[in-house]
Structure 1
């Protein structure tokens, strides 16, 4: 039997979820992607997208639009508009599209940097073609990594949000929002039962979106490591004044990282003289201005500090 305190808690939870849904549902579109398949033009995919500007730009997943250039966006108020793909970035799984007609009021973008494990989040999208669907759950994990396809190579998307909010095919490109209806992530993958992933909205994401709006692509520096958040050993924490770092979990063959002598298991302490305590700290350095430039990296290995100089190359889509 539900007591008064439990009933009040459930009512408060319902009010939060319904409030987020009321605010975000108009701003989330159901996408139909048009392209060629076996020599014929037609529907090649579906997904979701989030209006984020007043002049018709929407944010979605790169894998939702694929190599297509056009499609149709449908909104909860019944309006439809054709759209054009402005730019896509497979390495973050983000894409920007622009509607050809009027769009509803944009959603407010928040910051995933404020999220905490256990925090309530709400997913809004069009799973299985069912537009305007809402599910709720919690942040199950932060700082996760997931593979992304870039040409024939597999890269790693860092700093992904893990949630148990129910996600299904078609949710991709939809909004993951906090309790105030601010979009803190773009739903990107269903990794298993009770396990969904979202690309975070943060400073790095904003830089990627700006590049897509400006140039239609993102020029990146490539180092060739995959990392995971890790605690700093006590003996090191006292020296550097931090309790967190990132540990190298993969070094790509024939990469600048391998050439510089970086190894799996190294704990990255600083990059370019700046502290590194999460995946985003490293990602922020891997844009066009780092290509071909010497990059000083300090790692902690077998109880000692190790200095290396890497020279990132331009990441190519192949």
Structure 2
């Protein structure tokens, strides 16, 4: 008997016959996703009235409901005096702005629909894996329905919006984006939306970003419900500053930075709570605050009108203050 017969057997899938087979599989995957999604991707033209007269701009978007709701970027449509959407069949329609959120760079439009429109399914960005196929469709530099493909390069990136707030859970991809792609969909291999294309790094190659679709779902719900995204407002300005290990040990915290208060707005919740300039904020309701972005993330809708406990260091004295944020009215 052959002694090798007693060893565990390991089987592997047969390799493809040649590289052409691999290319065919990849091509079929991308082409299938594009065919599924392309009729829902739209061109958005905007007009804005400014000090130099009427100015025009454009971007991309996609239908995500059968009755004419379109998802795009806030920076594409914010402040527009008129918005026009062109579907792939050439049909043009005026669009109404349902609401936009500059702090996540997302917006929802509505176009009239006399029939059910082709639309895209929203996927689940929590299930994404680095390395999986990513496909972008949009209108870069006016070239309608341009398709690029690549992979998900990284997950959980942070990117600062034009409004100054840090957007979390950003998807990085090497599917090439250019001006005009903004607001278009980033798709998985089945043609489901995994992100909303939003930004590139000028001068870099193959470093592109999309707002994760799960973030977009939350923003869409807020815009449908309130016409805006509700966030809490404390009424203070601050900056991220390092704290020494000695201070961290003294406070019993595991962080290397905190937020130093630089201004307390008159009549604000922060003023009513007793916060003062130069206070160091290290936590809210037991959650660590190591940066201004942490503070912004924690001041979400759930804290509007509710008393919170804010932990600070004033000089050498640790304090706990009660603060009751109100709803932000920032445009």
TM-score scaled by structure 2?
0.72
TM-superposed deviation, 1:215: 2.5
Match status 1:219 vs 2:230? yes
- The residue number in structure 2 matching 1:31 is 44
Kindly provide the CA deviation profile for residues 194-225 of structure 1, in whole angstroms up to 9, marking residues without a partner as x: 111101111x4322111212322111125789
- The residue number in structure 2 matching 1:59 is 71
Runs (5+) with no aligned partner, structure 2: 1-15, 241-253, 265-269, 289-293, 312-318
Q: Distance in 2 between matches of 1:183 and 1:76?
A: 18
TM-superposed deviation, 1:56: 0.6
Match status 1:163 vs 2:164? no
Aligned counterpart for 1:73 among listed residues 85, 94, 101: 85
Secondary structure at 2:161 match in 1: strand
TM-superposed deviation, 1:138: 0.8
- The residue number in structure 1 matching 2:157 is 144
Secondary structure at 2:223 match in 1: helix
TM-superposed deviation, 1:63: 0.3
Match status 1:121 vs 2:131? no
Residues 216, 5 of structure 1: alpha-carbon distance in 2 compared, 3 angstrom cutoff: same
TM-superposed deviation, 1:87: 0.5
Q: Determine if contact 2:64/2:119 at 8 Å carries over to the other structure.
A: yes
Kindly provide the CA deviation profile for residues 17-42 of structure 1, in whole angstroms up to 9, marking residues without a partner as x: 1011101110010110122133644x
Q: Distance in 2 between matches of 1:114 and 1:226?
A: 34
- The residue number in structure 1 matching 2:315 is none
Q: Determine if contact 1:226/1:248 at 8 Å carries over to the other structure.
A: no
Q: Determine if contact 1:225/1:249 at 8 Å carries over to the other structure.
A: no
Residues 35, 113 of structure 1: alpha-carbon distance in 2 compared, 3 angstrom cutoff: same
TM-superposed deviation, 1:294: 3.5
TM-score scaled by structure 1?
0.74
Runs (5+) with no aligned partner, structure 1: 228-244, 276-280, 299-305
Q: Distance in 2 between matches of 1:250 and 1:166?
A: 37
In terms of fraction of residues, the more strand-rich structure is 1
Q: Determine if contact 1:272/1:297 at 8 Å carries over to the other structure.
A: yes
Aligned length: 278
TM-superposed deviation, 1:170: 0.4
Q: Determine if contact 2:187/2:194 at 8 Å carries over to the other structure.
A: yes
**Aligned-CA RMSD value:** 3.6
Q: Distance in 2 between matches of 1:14 and 1:248?
A: 48
**Looking at CA atoms only, which structure, 1 or 2, has the larger radius of gyration?**
2
Q: Distance in 2 between matches of 1:23 and 1:286?
A: 39
- The residue number in structure 2 matching 1:238 is none
Kindly provide the CA deviation profile for residues 33-77 of structure 1, in whole angstroms up to 9, marking residues without a partner as x: 122133644x52100011011111100000000211431111212
TM-superposed deviation, 1:155: 1.7
TM-superposed deviation, 1:190: 1.1
Secondary structure at 1:149 match in 2: coil
- The residue number in structure 2 matching 1:278 is none
Match status 1:14 vs 2:27? yes
- The residue number in structure 2 matching 1:135 is 148
Secondary structure at 1:134 match in 2: strand
Which runs of structure 2 are paired with 1:269-308 in the superposition (5 Å)?
A: 286-295=299-308
